[in-house]
Amino acid sequence: MEIPLFILALIAAFVYTLVASIRNSSRIKSLEREVHSLKRMMAAGVAAPDVAQAETAEITENAAPTAQSEGETPPEATAIRDEDTFERSDASAAATDQESARDDAQAEPIANTVSLPVAEDASTPAAKESFESLLGARWAVWAGGLALALGGIFLVKYSIEAGLLSPAVRLSLAAIFGLFLGLAGEAIRRKAMPGIATTYSNAMIPGVLTAAGALTLFGVVYAAYGIYGYIGSGTAFILLGLVAFATIGLSLLHGQALAGLGLLGSMLTPALVSSETPNIWALFVFLTISWLATAAAARRQRWTVVPSLANAGLGLWALGYIGFSSTINAEPPTLALLAMLAGTIFLWPGRLLDTPPVQTSETAVPERRAVRIIRLLLRPSLALNLTVSMAVILPAVSFIFAGGSLDTHPAFVVSALIAALAALGAARHYAVWPALVAALGAQTAVSLMSRQGLDFIGLVNGTAISLPPVSVAYTANIAMALGLGAVLVLCAFSFLKRKGAEDSDFAQLWAGIAALFPVWLATTSFVEYGNLGRDWLHAAYGLGLGLVLLAGAEWLHRQNNEAYRKPLNILVLGSFAAFALCLHTLTEGLATTVMLSVIGFVYVLATRYRNWDVLPWVMAVASVAVLGRIAWEPTIVGPQNLGLTPVFNALLPGYGIPALLAVASAWLLRDWPGVRAKNFLQAIASVMGLLAVAILIRHAMNGGTLDNSVPTLGEQSIYTLLTIGFSGVLMTLDLKSPSPVFRYGSMIAGVIAVINVLTMHFFTLNPYFTGENTGRIPFLNLLLIGYLLPALAYGGLAYYARGKRPPPYVSMLAVAGAALGFAWATLSVRRFWQGENIADWKGFMQGETYSYSVVWLLIGVLLLVLGSRFNARSLRLASAAFVLISVAKAFLIDMSNLEGVLRALSFIGLGAVLIGIGLFYQKILTRKPQA
């Protein structure tokens, strides 16, 4: 049963080699295509003169008989000429020679010019291969190699079944056969024509023969060890390794597919050779040497597929060892992975592909940001970058998930691997993915190493996670988080200093990593392990980080390079985040909220010394952070600590100081060239100012309590008046300093106020529906603040907005004021007849019903007079609306509800007013000049 399995393994391995050979042609990268193009160009340049000479000779040979046929004098007659004829011939021959020399001198640039299309043709994709070439030149080679391997296997099988030879003889003959195939491949390679290697690079007969020989030798060594037991595990390990390394070495002559076969053999060798006491150090030393050999071959031949597979193989071995070992020795896999990273930096790709991208000129059309990001992520050596990143970060995270006992605290191992991966990201232009994966992997590892992360891992594994003990609780975890943050900052500055000016996109990425991830890592450490009251360690880290990032921004500023403009801005934002972290580790409540705005305001003051674009945005971010803290805890200091004194409590500084600093920032930056930042600051300053006044009113109206209860009509009226005043203030600011924020903000505030009126004043909080007591004093009561004062405010705002805002907006304000005045008059009539409580359940009196008609008609007349006085069409339309309401009421309500003299007086008064209004309009229209 063992021999058929061995035969199947050989067949599978050989099929793998053939498939790799087939895929090799489609995986050749741009550098290989350029080399082949250069070879074709050189071949075309050498062959062109020969072809030209052959064509010239052919033309001369063809011209001779033509001349004989067309000329009258035969060749024999040329010998019988006089002396003058010979002299003339010599002279013409000399002239012809000079002409030819001159033509040759002129032909050289022409030949160079003619050769350019040849080069272009060589660089274009080759024509589709014919079926004859595919069948005869490729398939025959593949099938022949497979037939050779199967023939040898069947011969061995027959000898076993017939009992002709002993196992030792069979193995010896198989080994000789494998060596013979390799020698035959080398002999054929030396005699092969040069053009064949270029045309049939993945179907070369020498490579197929060498692959078949390598497979045979692999099978011989394994059979001698695993089937017959002729050699021990150590000898088998050495022999398999030698065959693998020899195959990798021969791949320099026979192509990348053979290198893949050698790599496969070297990666499978430790799995094929088993031992009761495996030596982990020997295993990973062997794998590291195998990786280095593959990388060395790839460097010479500019391969990318095989070294990517080598990265993946080494990473898989590390993952398998960590995942399936009961006792884990962390040093061997860690050092192997570190050697792989070092080899990637210095060996392959090393410096060979470390070229900065072509920068877009200032006159060129700028690319979209999404296109630039995609171009950044898809840089050359993408497969190498991804495989080396995953081969490092997955084993690093697996150390945390390891089920076996670990002899080293995982924090140290993970930190070393991620730091080395970040160093690779900072060392080369093409190493974008190592930089990204290192930053994301650092945050992932720190999160998993936290207390919540360990609980999650235990839930997934079904076992409790117990990390190796350290001298101080959580010291290693804190050191890991803060140390990785420092490493990322160092790598970022290293890249910015050495390569940032040549690679602005990657420089922005590294600046973003330095600005975001160290603060994120430190925040995770502080939340998980820090002293939430006052933590001096994390505070010092945040302060130091902020100063370092600011110093880096200043250094970039002094470089006076446009490529550093965006990285500089990113670093400044990161410095604010670091200072905010420091602030949160030392303070809480009111001090934190106020100091956030103070720090942002300091950045605004810095605009007097530096014109960095991001400085105003820092204040904007600080204001948004303050609003976030307010949304999280509106009382700033907690409900239990908030005083009951109106105005003079923690809300005044907690809301007022940030609002004042935001307003001051908007004023200081009124001449700032950045329109977006200036507008945003103006908007957020306006919002924070309105919010500060509104929250103080809310606190005062609710007896020192801030909750989610529905406001009363009096409180809501103050909010409405505040919004109307806010709209007027923004309009004034817009007139003095035109700004879209002030312009549209004033109209938005007016619309919000109108919505409040429609929803709250007329329906939700109307004392007619709620039954709220209106107060004892006849005029100075709830109806005054709830309806009359907002009506007057709307009227004043509409008058102020005439000619300054669109007419529909002004009309909306005027109509809203008129509606509020109508509501005040109507509810005041009901209060006169019903008393302090004007709830709807009391019904209506006849005198009350008649009074409504009188008051409504008076309001209509008053609005008509005002509309005529101020030439306000909106007021005249509102007057018409009141008159129509009075008419409808008279015919629909008064006719049925009133009796006696009241009914008559109602219609008499209505008629008199209507006639008077008609006469008034007649006079106005006759006086008005016709258009």
Q: What does the pLDDT look like over 878-901, one tens digit per residue?
A: 777 777 776 666 555 655 555 556
Place of tokens 């329109």: 675
Q: How confident is the model at residue 919 (pLDDT cuts 50, 70, 90)?
A: low
Q: What is the pLDDT of residue 572?
A: 98
Q: What is the pLDDT of residue 76?
A: 37
Q: What is the pLDDT of residue 61?
A: 42
Q: What is the pLDDT of residue 870?
A: 73
Q: What is the pLDDT of residue 163?
A: 67
What is the secondary structure of 154-172 as a DSSP string?
A: HHHHHHHHHT-S-HHHHHH
Report whether pLDDT(512) > 80. yes
Cross-strand partners of 405: 327
Report whether pLDDT(432) > 50. yes
Q: Is the bond preceding residue 349 a cis peptide, omega within 30 degrees?
A: yes
DSSP for residue 137: I
CA-atom Rg of the chain in angstroms = 46
Place of tokens 């991001």: 614
Most confidently modeled range among 252-266, 395-409, 579-593, 909-923 = 579-593
Q: What is the pLDDT of residue 811?
A: 86
Lowest mean pLDDT among 28-32, 438-442, 750-754, 793-797: 28-32
Q: Are 685 and 665 in contact (CB under 8 A)?
A: yes
Residue type, 820: L
111: Cα within 13 Å, side-chain hemisphere: 15
Average pLDDT over residues 292-320: 94
Residue 859: C-alpha distances to residues 823, 847, 879 (Å)? 11, 18, 7
Q: How confident is the model at residue 819 (pLDDT cuts 50, 70, 90)?
A: confident
Report whether pLDDT(804) > 70. yes
Q: What is the pLDDT of residue 41?
A: 67
Q: How many CB atoms lie within 10 A of CB 697?
A: 19
DSSP for residue 788: I
Report whether pLDDT(322) > 80. yes
Most confidently modeled range among 46-55, 365-374, 670-679 = 670-679
Lowest mean pLDDT among 42-46, 626-630, 649-653, 910-914: 42-46
Q: What is the pLDDT of residue 711?
A: 84
Place of tokens 């190498």: 384
- Give the C-alpha separation, 532 to 522, whole Å: 13
Q: What is the pLDDT of residue 66?
A: 38
The two three-digit tokens of residue 890, written as one number: 């008279």
What is the secondary structure of 43-102 as a DSSP string?
A: HHHHHHHHHHHHHHHHHHHHHHHHHHHH-SS-GGGGGS--HHHHHHHHHHHHHHHHHHHH
Most confidently modeled range among 59-73, 126-140, 892-906 = 892-906
- Taken in order 500, 506, 508, 509, the sign of the CA dihedral is negative
Q: What is the pLDDT of residue 284?
A: 95
Q: Are 230 and 223 in contact (CB under 8 A)?
A: no
Average pLDDT over residues 778-801: 90
Q: How confident is the model at residue 644 (pLDDT cuts 50, 70, 90)?
A: confident
Q: What is the pLDDT of residue 435?
A: 97
Q: How confident is the model at residue 860 (pLDDT cuts 50, 70, 90)?
A: confident
Average pLDDT over residues 574-603: 96
Most confidently modeled range among 575-579, 676-680, 857-861 = 575-579
Report whether pLDDT(7) > 80. no
Report whether pLDDT(740) > 80. yes
Average pLDDT over residues 343-369: 79
Q: Higher confidence at residue 47 or residue 34?
A: 34
Q: Higher confidence at residue 187 or residue 766?
A: 766
- Comparing C-alpha atoms, which of 399, 378, 391, 443 is closest to residue 421? 391
Report whether pLDDT(189) > 80. no
CA dihedral 785, 788, 790, 794 (to 10 degrees): -170
Cross-strand partners of 328: 406
For 305, counting Cβ atoms within 10 Å of its Cβ (0-12 exposed, 13-18 middle, 19+ buried), the class is: buried
Report whether pLDDT(683) > 80. yes
764-769 long-range Cβ contacts below 8 angstroms, 24+ apart: 764/710, 765/710, 765/711, 765/712, 765/713, 765/716, 766/713, 767/713, 767/827, 767/837, 767/838, 767/839, 768/827, 768/830, 768/838, 768/839, 768/840, 769/839, 769/840
- Comparing C-alpha atoms, which of 525, 522, 650, 535 is closest to residue 587? 535
Quick one: what percent of the chain has pLDDT higher than 90? 35
Average pLDDT over residues 336-347: 96
Interacting residues of 315 by C-beta distance below 8 A, sequence separation 6+ = 337, 387, 390, 391, 392, 394, 395
For 48, counting Cβ atoms within 10 Å of its Cβ (0-12 exposed, 13-18 middle, 19+ buried), the class is: middle
DSSP for residue 607: G
CA dihedral 13, 16, 17, 23 (to 10 degrees): -170
Q: Are 192 and 206 in contact (CB under 8 A)?
A: yes
What mean pLDDT value characterizes the chain? 79
Most confidently modeled range among 17-21, 78-82, 494-498, 851-855 = 494-498
Interacting residues of 751 by C-beta distance below 8 A, sequence separation 6+ = 812
Helix or strand run (H / E) with residue 406: strand 405-406
Percent of the chain as helix, strand, coil, to the nearest 5? 80, 0, 20
Helix or strand run (H / E) with residue 405: strand 405-406
Q: What is the pLDDT of residue 841?
A: 81
Lowest mean pLDDT among 110-119, 136-145, 169-178, 621-630: 110-119
**Helix or strand or coil: residue 348?**
coil
Q: What is the pLDDT of residue 90?
A: 45
Average pLDDT over residues 64-81: 38
- Give me the helix-helix angle, 504-529 and 536-559, nearest 10°: 170
Report whether pLDDT(80) > 90. no
Place of tokens 């000399």: 94
Q: What is the pLDDT of residue 457?
A: 59
Q: What is the pLDDT of residue 82?
A: 40
Report whether pLDDT(903) > 60. no
Q: What is the pLDDT of residue 893?
A: 64
- Comparing C-alpha atoms, which of 37, 196, 29 is closest to residue 118? 37
